[in-house]
Amino acid sequence: MPPNRRIKPPLTRYSVEDYERYGPAIKRQIDAIFDYFEAQQQYVNELEDKLITTEAELSRLNQKIGHIYDMSIVQSVLILVGAGVFAFGVNLATTSPHDWPGWILGSAGFLLQLLAVLIPTFSHLRGNNR
pTM for this structure? 0.57
Q: Are 32 and 9 in contact (CB under 8 A)?
A: yes
**What is the predicted pLDDT for the residue at 109?**
95
- Residue 113 lies in domain: 16-126
The answer to whether position 7 is within a domain reads: no
For residue 57, tell me if it sits in a domain. Answer: yes
Residue 59 pLDDT exceeds 90: yes
CA distance 99 to 90: 12
User: Which of the two residues, 18 and 111, has the higher pLDDT score?
Assistant: 111
pLDDT confidence of residue 24: 85
Q: 92 in a domain, yes or no?
A: yes
pLDDT value, residue 20: 78
How far is CA 99 from each of CA 94, 96, 108, rounded to the nearest angstrom? 10, 6, 15
Asked if residue 3 belongs to a domain, the reply is no
d(CA 113, CA 86): 9
Structural domain count of the chain: 1
- Secondary structure (3-state) at 130: coil
How confident is the model at residue 45, as a pLDDT?
95
Largest CA distance in the chain: 114
Assess whether pLDDT exceeds 60 at residue 125.
yes
Number of neighbouring beta carbons within 10 Å of residue 109: 20
Domain assignment present for 6: no
Residue 10 lies in a domain: no
Asked whether residue 70 is assigned to any structural domain, the reply reads yes
* 2 in any annotated domain: no
